Structure 1
Amino acid sequence: MSSTVTAINTIARWLNYALAIPMISLGIIGALLTMLIFLGQQSFHRNPTILYLLAGAVMTAIHLPTIYLQSILVDGFYLGLFNTNDIACRERNYLFYVTTVAAISYPCWAAFDQYASTHRQADFRYSWSSMRFARFAIFGTVVFWSIIYAPLIFISRSVNDVCILLDGPLKFIHSFVLTPIVFIMGPLVLIAGFTYGTIRNLRATAFASRHDRLTKQIRRMVIPQVVILAIFGLPFGVNCLYDDLTSKVQKDPLRKAIEHLIQQITRLIYHVIFVSTFYIYLYMSMEMRKVMVRMIRKYFQPRRIEPLNSYLDKPLTIRRTRLRTSSNANRFDY
């Protein structure tokens, strides 16, 4: 059995080497490019949906190097301060959930904005699909989740070189109320409802005809992202719920190894949500591809400098101009 456990643990560790490290690299690059394109394109500046997607890219750029990289160091290289230090454990748990939930909230807001922007009532569109409301929602989302997950700071401890949540009412609320709502039911219900509402609104052909090409491209960018969020977030939420339900069960080394491997797989699947966003945008939006090509040409295409001889070899042309003088040009008064 020991050889089987070793083999399973080796597979779990190599998942971090072969998949997690390339994924985090592609995710960080994609998040940074998303921010550069959205901020550099004037046509994106006044669109609330783009503002939500930009906020999601910023949160992804924070989450991947600060949170997911810590998990890779622990599981792949057996390095990690948060398993041996209480302060690091509290910081890791708190930031993990705040950044993760905020990052998956912004695509839900984007789906809501698509529903609001296609609503038939002008007052509804003006109130709920605006840059002002989008800024308020982005800031309010961070504040809301920061307050909701603040109790994790007080119940996180490093016990036997493992960062855990201490038993009690706060852990029960986190494990059996927040986790099912945030990671399982919430995204599925919100995304399905807003997507259905958007499709129903677009059935009014008179309103749909007024949507320009950029708006349609943005909708094509949002829909695949929210579908991936709803599907890929489900295994991660179920696995977190299973870990909480079986936290007090005595487990043999083989079961621990298998559960650890499943945890690594579900975490990889879940982080596809963060990594794939930019590449979905690039594939679905022609406007994104145009901006990307312009950026590549601007920063990577070598500038052509003509040698000085090319100017000397060019024939010199002299233009003759006729000087016009008035009839009194040569008169002098004494």
Structure 2
Amino acid sequence: MVNLKQLSELARDSSSSGRKTLVEAVTDLFLAADDSEIDHIALLFGDIVLRVLGQLEEEARVALSARVSDHPHAPHDLMVRLASDSIDVAKQVLENSPVLTDEDLASIAWEGSMDHLGAIADRGPLGENVTTVIVGRGNSQVLAKVAGNEQARFTPDTFERLLEKAQQHPIVQEALIGRSDIPEEPARRLIPYLSEELRKRIKELGTNNTLIQLLAERAAQEVQAQMRDLGSAKSRAEMLIRDVKSRKRPIDDAVNQFAKADRPIDLAMLLAEVSELPAESVTRVVFNQGDTPLIILCRANGVTDNAYKNVVKMRSKRLQLSGKAMTDAINRYARMQRAEAVRALAAIKQRGGKAS
């Protein structure tokens, strides 16, 4: 272990290697100090290292940071300098130093890189003034870190801002669902943006009863809404079919609406009603790969070429038709004459209404 006389001798060497040796020696002295002398040695250590820190190569500063980053008596000014250095030097100090205050961290967060923010976001505890800066400046990776830090505390306004940003970033949502302290109202606003995978994760984790309860409520509401929509859509479809059959509306109105909404069953019901054929038979026609019976039913009832194109598009999604197959189907419809289709429909009815 070096003594003060030896330190004085080392201090005379102004070369890069000499400065490195001096810092290593004084660091050894600091780390070996006992409780009775730590305050005095810490002052000496800080004074010497701060004087030569700017002359040290980054490798030496990284080594220094690693040795003293978690020391409870490390000189405050030195820790702030190291924490403000390049991220390779600063990372361990930002993550571990008990000497840095929230004011120090907030100041570094205002001016540092995203890597500096990320290192701060990982440490705990974090005060509200620090998280306010992090949430204001951070990218999605930084936000995910601070959102997943259970020891991070937020003001209500900062938490609201974090939730707003989380809506656009699934990585932040994933971090948030692991927290146990999300208030009910913010959690309620978060739920609609969660993917099915994250909703499953919430149930698996079981860490946030508020989120679990809200998911259950939303699932029940969605089922009720689907039932209402289904009933409403069915009623509207039935009314539209009645209007077409009574000639209050053209058949193209209904065909276009059902095809664009991807409702093949409603289209089948429409064609069955206007053709006076069994619904079961016509439903098979709509879903069959072969389209001749469907062409007959549509053309015989006055469906125009443009409306039939929408029918082809709807079928292509379900039957995975190629572009060429779709074009061929449209051309076949264009070649079918209505008089020919009317005769074919009459023949279908004569043989018992079997359209397929």
Q: The TM-score by the shorter chain falls in which range?
A: under 0.3
TM, length-normalised to structure 1: 0.22
Based on CA coordinates, which of the two structures has the bigger radius of gyration? 2
The higher-RCO structure (CA 8 Å, 6+ apart) is 1
TM, length-normalised to structure 2: 0.21
